[in-house]
Amino acid sequence: MANLSQEQKQLIETIGIYHEQQGFPPVVGRIMGLLFVSDQTHLSFEEIIDTLNISKSATSNALNLLLQLRLIEYTTFPGDRKRYFSALLDNWQQEVVNKMNSVLAFSKLLRQANELRGNKNPEMSKKVLDRIEFMEFLSAEVPVLLEKWLKNRK
């Protein structure tokens, strides 16, 4: 079991609430919080259960979802049959690009909705068009900003 301070426990709960507000089950966010807060690089299934005081099935479901979403990864060690989980920290740049691609895809759907509506509600169409244009702008600019940030770090 990870030995956590009261402040760490509270931060895990806050991270859990954040993820819940993003549409994830509460356990998913708490596991992400634990993986970010823990001073241990990897935590076993049992350590996660014991530390967060959650059921095996909820833990298993949450870990499978996080693995599927490529937000966590697991490793094994020779002579140990357990899987050890950690936050997947190396893919965040691709995650940003993927989110921007998702934003762009949604903007295309909104554009189609505007076209199907025609001129029946010009005020709404204008507001939706503003959102579309901003989403397209954001989708174009974020990769440029990411590249600039990476270049300046070297």
For position 2, what pLDDT does the model report?
63
pLDDT along the chain (154 residues), means of 10: 85 95 94 94 96 96 94 94 92 85 94 92 94 94 91 86
For position 1, what pLDDT does the model report?
57
Q: Select from 3.40.640.10, 3.40.50.300, 1.25.40.10, 1.10.10.10 the CATH code of 6-87.
A: 1.10.10.10
For position 109, what pLDDT does the model report?
96
**Nearest of 15, 51, 35 to residue 85 by alpha carbon:** 35
Alpha carbon 90 to chain centroid, angstroms:
13
How far, in Å, CA of 124 to CA of 146, rounded?
Answer: 33
Boundaries of every domain in the chain: 6-87, 92-153
